[in-house]
Amino acid sequence: MKNRKLNQWFWKWHFIAGIISLPFVLVLSITGAIYLFKPKVENPIIENIQKIELQNQGEKLSYDQQWEIAQKNSKRKLNSVIISNKEQSTEFISGRFGGKKSIFIHPYSGEVSGTFQAKDTWMYKVRKLHGELLGGKIGTKIVELIACWMIILIISGIYIWFPFSKGIKGVFTIRFNEGKRILARDIHAVTGFWISILLLLILAGGLPWTDVFGGNFKKVQKWTNTGYSKTWRGIGLTSTVKEKRITLDEMITIANKENLSGTITLGLPKSPKSTFSVSNKTFPLSDQKMIHFDQYSGELIKSHDWSDVGSLIRGRMWLMAFHQGEFGGWNWYLVFLVAILLTVMSSAAIFSYLWRKPKGKLGIPKQPKNFKMSNGFVLVLITLGVVFPLFGINVVLIFLINIFRKPKEISKT
């Protein structure tokens, strides 16, 4: 038998978390499902730009010649080139992350085939809505807070609903003939139970992008030396300065000998003393490498593989890739299904609340009488507040409001 007062306490906090979160959860689940189609939107655009005619093209331009043309037509300094053995326009890149922009050079004519920047697509708006509710820094913090409350919703929801009385049958049963409120409640509870673990994994994959938790996570990586090493990023590695740097064609020939899989990027030297950096984005993640070469001699300076990556960054990269459905078809369909079911579950919760809410009242459950949180529960709340600072601040504010406000009603589950 469950502790009745503890169950009532959990119900109150599940209710509060739902009131705070559900409207935003609907936005995040819908935009998340749409954003999974990003490659299907962007890849055809890029492929069309890269397409070239192979007849009567003449002699192919060197990569250095193409780079000079690209740099003249780029407002920003180029930092890398994509190595490809296909007969297509060469992609040169400036900027990073959201500011990344590609300029494509026809390898035979030297013409600019086109440019591509994710910011110019409608999918970028979806991303901004999903990641920050179009609200900039404030928006990202709201999304982070909602993600924290979703974790509380999942944990408290499982405890409240778990079918001790109905047995295991309750995990599978949706009652269609007992009224619309019961139907909505069962859709919410049963669906929530089955996607709970996957949803926690997806939330864990999204949290590293947040400002507060994500920033603190990076600090922990640095303190514990469990992130990327400095030399992975080329820090501390230098080339022996000579009169002339090797050509891009020579460097690309050296890079191709590494037989890397996936999308191969050649990072250009940032200064006369820095290095060429060859990396690949591929799956499984364990096949990723980062290799640094002397920009004057082409000699290998440092080679990193996945075994050189710290444990925290490994977990972080795995979860972030899972969050975006990047591990293949099974991953994409699984995350898409969770996003759809989360939308259904959240909608059902809203309807269930509206159909049970007393007229003219919010229907917020009371704190159970004579209920005292155990030291264990207090410790759990403090721990969650430390790990998720925005959640901790939010809980303190709610408790303060609760102290100065006398509840007027007790709502039944």
Res. 251 pLDDT band, cuts 50 70 90: very high
Helical H segments across 36-61, by residue range: 38-50
Q: Given this model, what pLDDT does residue 53 score?
A: 81
Reply yes or no on whether the pLDDT at 10 is more than 60.
Answer: yes
pLDDT recorded at residue 374: 79
Q: What is the mean pLDDT of residues 281-308?
A: 95
Question: What average pLDDT does range 257-281 have in this prediction?
Answer: 95
Per-residue pLDDT tens over the stretch 319-349: 999 999 999 999 999 999 999 999 999 999 9
Phi, psi of 289 (to 5 degrees): -135, 160
pLDDT at 160: 84
| 312 pLDDT above the threshold of 50 | yes
**Predicted confidence band at 291 (pLDDT cuts at 50, 70, 90)?**
very high
Domains of the chain, start order: 4-18+130-214+329-378 (no CATH), 38-124 (3.10.450.40), 216-315 (3.10.450.40)
pLDDT of residue 86: 87
- pTM across the whole model: 0.88
Closest CA to 17 of 122, 129, 155, 127: 155
Q: Does pLDDT of 17 surpass 50? A: yes
CA torsion through residues 165, 168, 169, 172, sign: positive
pLDDT in tens, 139-160: 999 999 999 999 989 988 888 8
Looking at the predicted structure, is the pLDDT value of residue 73 above 90? yes
Question: Of 61-70, 117-126, 154-163, which range is least confident?
Answer: 154-163
What string of DSSP letters covers 196-226?
HHHHHHHHHHHGGGSSHHHHHHHHHHHHHT-
Higher pLDDT: 358 or 27? It is 27
Confidence of residue 257 (pLDDT cuts 50, 70, 90): very high
- DSSP-assigned beta bridge partners for residue 278: 266, 291
Q: Does position 78 have pLDDT exceeding 90, yes or no? A: yes
Average pLDDT over the chain, rounded to whole?
Answer: 90
**Paired tokens of 70:** 């690209």
More confident residue, 4 or 242: 242
For the chain, the first-to-last Cα distance in angstroms comes to: 17
Given this model, what pLDDT does residue 220 score? Answer: 94
pLDDT band at 164 (very low <50, low <70, confident <90, very high): low
Contacts of 81 (CB under 8 A, 6+ apart): 63, 67, 90, 91, 92, 93, 248, 252, 265, 266, 268
**Does position 408 have pLDDT exceeding 70, yes or no?**
no
> Which pLDDT score is estimated for 1?
57
